[in-house]
Structure 1
Amino acid sequence: MTSNEPASTKIFASDTKEIANHGQQNKESSSSEDNLDAESLAKTENSQVFEVSKEGPNFRGVGMYGAAILIAKSQLGLGVLGLPSTLNALGFLPGLLSLTCLCLLSTYTGLIIGKFRNKHPHIYCIDDAAYMLFGSVAREVMGWGFWLFYTLCYGSALLTISIAFNSITEHAVCTVIWVVVGAVVSFILGASIRTMRVLSFMGYFAMSSILLAVWIVAIACLTQKVPAAAPEGEPINKMIRVAASGARFNTVASAIAIQFFSLCGTASFFSIQAEMRDPKQYGRSLLMGQALVMFNYIVLAIMIYAKIGQYVASPALGSAGVLLKKIAYGIALPGLFWSSFFTAHLAAKYALIRILRGTKHLQSNTKIHWITWLGMIAIVSAAGFIIAGAIPFFNNLVALTGALVGTSFTLFIPACLTLYELGHHKHHERDSTLTWIKHSWGELHHHKFTVVLSIFCICVAFFICVGGLYGAISSTVEAYANGTVDRAFSCANNA
């Protein structure tokens, strides 16, 4: 159209006036269409995922403190139970340094997510951000990755619930039965709760139950002269090491992946912000939630490991003896169930939005809405049950989950979002998806620290992904080979 106008003018000189007039009309028409496209795109990118509506479920009801609880609980649920054992694998100083650095990095990338979504409020999940970065293929990969991540987390939660019931009842029934109980309860609660507003109210009780249980165990460990897990009649060697020497690579990589898993709640931050009444308050919510997480992670890991060393259990609630383990798991059960249906909720909600986004059924109590929601919850519940039964050990499952998909959500994608914003700070091309890579590199001399930090996050993500995946898989193979764990879907006691 307009690009052919000058050539036509040269070739058909005798019709210059007519062609010029025709070209001007086309140019005006093309300009009008471009303006409409630009306005349509701007309108789409500046619109929130959920509208404020009095009809149907309230998907915009989460306040600042409620969001802080959701952020903290999305991290604390299962992660805190595996951290003390990582100091035993890595050594005190390397383990503490690794944990502190990962906490700071996850806080930094969490702030990036909030800042980016405030500029692009149409984003609901990590897949929308991946689409802006790398195109439609990346959207599908990250979308399925998000669903898989929280389905794996759901499986980890079911596994922990089975450990809790086995601990409380002294393995009264087959372990698979306890997994089924956890799955049924989680399905009923998950199916009936569709908004994070309700989940945030319940999160206060869930957070309190988990923290109370872990602190009871930590204080009990401090008061015991002899670690509860120490063998009777044998010399006690806690093997508290400043730095682990001679540790195998798969052990170190798996321990780092477990620490990383405890901070992979970053994957849910887009979704939490999307359901806030005022998304611009997200930054405050994140800092409050992360401060609570960092304090408890670091202090509890130090207290438990420094007192009992190699006799630390994983999950950590079993570190203070049989009686206290029963008490702690009994107190923690509400938090464990909350973690199970929260992770199921995130996976199912993502699928619901991908299917119903842009239709009247997304925020309405229609038959299609309910069929889709219940169907997605049922699929997640079934998949999580299979995962919990097929990988019946806690440490390797959380390490596998953190390494396989958590790295992309917590480090890789947020780091790329920073580079994307730098690349589009002075350049706004939309003709090529990856133009931001070239332009962000060109901004290096203006934003050296930001670019270097982003590249560092990407490198750490690749290391944890490859190393943690190798460590988790090799440890799993060894566990099956040496009989440490029984077959899949076993009735054996996993407490």
Structure 2
Amino acid sequence: MKTPFEKQDASHDNVERASVHGGESVTISRQFHQQDVFTAPRRGDVNFRGVSWPAATVLVAKFQIGLGALSIPSTFHVLGFFPGILSFVILALITTGAGFVCGNARQYYPRLHSIADASDLLFGPITREVVGCVYYLYLALTTGAGLLTTSVALNALSEHGTCSVVFVAVISVACFILGTGFRTLERVAWISWAGVTCIFVALCVTTIACLAQNRPAAALPAPAPLDMDVWAFPEDTTFTQAMIAVSNQLFAMREPQKFTRALVIGQSFIVLTNIAVGSIVYAKVGQYLASPALGSAGPLIKKVSYGIALPGLLVTAIIYSHIAGKYCLVRILRGTRHLQSNTVTHWAVWIGAMPVTVVFGFIIVNLVPFSGDFLSLVGALVNPIFTNVVPGFMILFFIAKRPSKVVNGQEHWALQSLQKARQDGPWLLLWLLAVFMIATGVFIMVAGTYATVLSIKQSYDDGSIGGVFSCADNSNT
């Protein structure tokens, strides 16, 4: 069965080149078809294309496990057990579909290096710059989230041995040094194996400890009454709380020919792990959940879990700062000999891009020094662009470019997609799915960001969190 990405024949290429951007379509489309970002490395060049499919699998897993997985149990408490799982599964299917669309598209449009390039293919160069800035913002914010969660681990292990800002600063320096040393994803994949293992083992330790306890560690000692407050369905959840939970869930959810295999294996591992851990911990701990979830089984297990997870949490910050730095490197040096050569220009851009990302993450995380709402903010503000909106438009684009009997080459590809979808049922269902992805993405962005801002404001108003650049212990939440 052919995918919607598959180029059918040379005549299809000609139709495509005639209708992407009007008068400028020939040059742009031919660029996307014929030019790859990275060429075959010459002696002394950096090989940016050495990632095997097993390494891609662990990268898919590591990009997601470590931050979102720690917040899943609390989303079940807000949404209710069954709606929480249903919401998570739907988001998982959407994000897996988005990964399939974006990953396989690169086989037929080799010039696609990032979601910004996909936006250029869809809407032109101005959109590429806008989406590129948002993409970098997302990576920098996620780097900050990694710094914050790692500082929570250090606070837990040291019993708040020093100011939290100092912990974040130390982690930022480590992130810069280690992240700068790994220029290729092939090398990052090696530390990702350790990162995934550490996080997974830490989650298992917390889950088993919660199962072994007679009552949650945060509950009052017996014989005080115990109210788990576990909901199969939500009872008094507000719209704001629900959107924050969905945003957190969205944050928990990224060899070319074998990309689909890596995506499916990596995503399956993440989804099953999150559902299993979230269900067990929520059922045993209920309203006494900690955020992040590693603190839900009491002080001793909290230290053990964070001690095991610490390398994995640090790897999360390293990976996202690396991807952000790589985006800057490609954006600045694309099409020049400096992109893959070990020149002074290459190293200047690479080394310069890393501290900008880390410093930005350091500043943001100290302006918003709490993990729950921070993850929700990132999940709502920028995640839907990459998991829902742009992939949805890409599906419409590929529907428009498939061969069919009825084609008006003068119409925009969005209108062509509707015309072609109406020709048969399966393509219409795919078209409806794309529209659903776009609509839900926009809704989460608007409603989720609004809800998270209200929650952050409320937290500052009621004094439950300190001010900016606070030294307070961020592990007691």
- TM-score when normalising by structure 2: 0.90
Partner-residue secondary structure (3-state), 2:297: coil
CA contact (8 A) 2:32 2:109 kept: no
Rounded Cα–Cα distance in structure 2 between residues aligned with 1:253 and 1:79? 15
Paired letter, 1:374 = I
Q: What is the aligned partner in structure 2 of residue 223 from structure 1?
A: 212
- After TM superposition, the runs of 4+ consecutive aligned structure 1 residues lying more than 6 A away are 427-432
Pick from 378, 397, 400 the counterpart of residue 374 of structure 2: 397
Residues 387-411 of structure 1 deviation map (CA, whole Å, 9 limit, x = unaligned): 1100000011111101111001001
Question: CA separation in 1, counterparts of 2:456 and 2:442?
Answer: 21
Query: Alignment partner for residue 360 of structure 1, among 301, 322, 337?
Result: 337
Superposition map of 1:337-352 within 5 A:
337-352=314-329
Residue of 461, 465, 468 corresponding to 1:481: 461
Contact 1:52 / 1:58 at 8 angstroms: preserved in 2? yes
Query: C-alpha offsets along residues 221-253 of structure 1, whole Å, 9 cap, x if unaligned?
Result: 000001011123531101001111121111010
Larger displacement relative to structure 2 (419-428 or 278-287): 419-428
Alignment check: 8 A CA contact 2:145 2:375 kept: yes
Residue 149 of structure 2 corresponds to residue 172 of structure 1? no
Q: Distance in 2 between matches of 1:94 and 1:40?
A: 44
Counterpart of 2:38 (choices 40, 50, 57) is 50
* Cα shift at 1:431: 9.0
Aligned mates of 1:237, 1:308 — CA distance in 2: 10
Cα gap change, 1:421 to 1:195, in 2 (>3 Å): same
Q: Which amino acid aligns with 1:412?
A: V
Cα separation, partners in 2 of 1:74 and 1:324, compared to 1, 3 Å = same
Deviations 1:425-475 (A, max 9, x none): 24899998x811110111122211101111111111112111110111000
**Cα distance between partner residues in 1 of 2:368 and 2:409:** 45
Would the aligned equivalents of 2:199 and 2:312 in 1 still touch at CA under 8 Å?
yes
C-alpha separation between the residues in 2 aligned to 1:493 and 1:41? 53
Deviation at 1:94, TM superposition (A): 0.7
Q: Does structure 1 retain, via aligned residues, the 8 Å contact 2:396–2:414? A: yes
1:451 aligns with 2:431: yes
Paired residue type of 2:450:
Y
Cα drift, residue 202 of structure 1: 1.2
Cα gap change, 1:187 to 1:430, in 2 (>3 Å): farther
Q: CA deviation at 1:56?
A: 2.3
- Of 248, 251, 258, the residue aligned with 2:241 is 251
The 8 Å contact of residues 152 and 387 in structure 1, kept in 2 or not, is answered as yes
The answer to whether structure 1 residue 66 and structure 2 residue 55 are counterparts is: yes
Distance 1:51 1:429, change over 3 A: farther
In structure 2, do the counterparts of structure 1 residues 430 and 38 end up closer, same or farther at CA, with 3 Å as the change threshold? farther
Q: Following TM superposition, by how much is the alpha carbon of 1:341 offset from its aligned partner in structure 2, in angstroms? A: 0.9
SS at match of 1:76: coil
- Partners of 2:366 and 2:469 within 8 A in 1: yes
Taking the TM superposition and a 5 Å limit, the aligned residue runs for 1:65-464 are 65-232=54-221, 234-263=224-253, 266=254, 278-426=255-403, 435-445=412-422, 446=424, 447-464=427-444
| Post-superposition offset of 1:189 | 0.3
Helix, strand or coil: the match of 2:66?
helix
Equivalent AA in structure 2 for residue 262 of structure 1: A
- Contact 2:163–2:472 at 8 Å: present in 1 too? yes
Letter in 1 for 2:153: A
Question: Does the CA contact (< 8 Å) of 1:229 and 1:321 recur in 2?
Answer: yes
Deviation digits for residues 121-164 of structure 1 (CA, Å, limit 9, x no counterpart): 11000000001111122111110011000100011111101110
3-state SS of 1:61 partner: coil
Change in Cα spacing, 1:92 to 1:57, as seen in structure 2 (3 Å) is: same
How far apart, in 1, do the equivalents of 2:106 and 2:329 lie? 20
Q: Distance in 2 between matches of 1:92 and 1:249?
A: 17
Deviations 1:471-494 (A, max 9, x none): 110000000000110001001111
Given that 1:167 and 1:326 are in contact with CA atoms closer than 8 Å, whether structure 2 keeps it comes out as yes
Q: State the SS of the aligned residue for 2:258.
A: helix
Superposed displacement of residue 39, structure 1: 8.4
Give the distance between the partners of 1:218 and 1:284, measured in 2 at CA. Answer: 29
Q: Distance in 1 between matches of 2:135 and 2:26?
A: 30
**8 Å contact from structure 1 (residues 213, 332) kept in 2:** yes
Q: In 1, distance between residues paired with 2:122 and 2:353?
A: 27
Match of 2:3 in 1: none
Structure 2 contact 396–417 (Cα < 8 Å) conserved: yes
Aligned-pair identity in percent equals: 38
Task: Could you tell me which runs of 5 or more consecutive residues in structure 2 were left unpaired when the two chains were aligned.
Answer: 1-24
Q: CA RMSD in A?
A: 1.8
Q: In structure 2, what is the Cα distance between the partners aligned to 1:38 and 1:164? A: 53
Q: Secondary structure at the match of 2:413?
A: helix
Whole-Å separation in 2 of the counterparts to 1:112 and 1:383? 30
Per the TM alignment, residue 40 of structure 1 is displaced from its structure 2 partner at its CA by 8.9
1:14 corresponding residue in structure 2: none
Q: Could you list the per-position Cα deviations for residues 247-286 of structure 1 after superposition, in whole angstroms to 9, with x for gaps in the alignment?
A: 11110100000000111xx3xxxxxxxxxxx311111111
How many aligned residue pairs are there? 445
* 1:81 and 1:315 in contact (8 A); partners too: yes
Paired with 1:165 and 1:245, the residues of 2 have a C-alpha distance of: 36
Larger Rg over CA atoms: 1
2:13 is aligned to none
Q: Secondary structure at the match of 1:172?
A: coil
Residue 45 of structure 1: how far off its partner (Å) = 2.2
Do the aligned partners of 1:210 and 1:335 also contact (CA within 8 Å) in 2? yes
Any stretches of 5+ residues in structure 1 without a counterpart? 1-36, 267-277
Contact 1:94 1:243 in 2 (8 A): yes
The question of whether the paired residues in 1 share the 8 Å contact of 2:32 and 2:112 is answered with: no
Contact 1:429/1:435 (CA < 8 Å) preserved in 2?
no
Residue pair 1:349, 1:373 contacting (<8 A) in 2 also: yes
The offset of 1:47, in angstroms, is 2.8
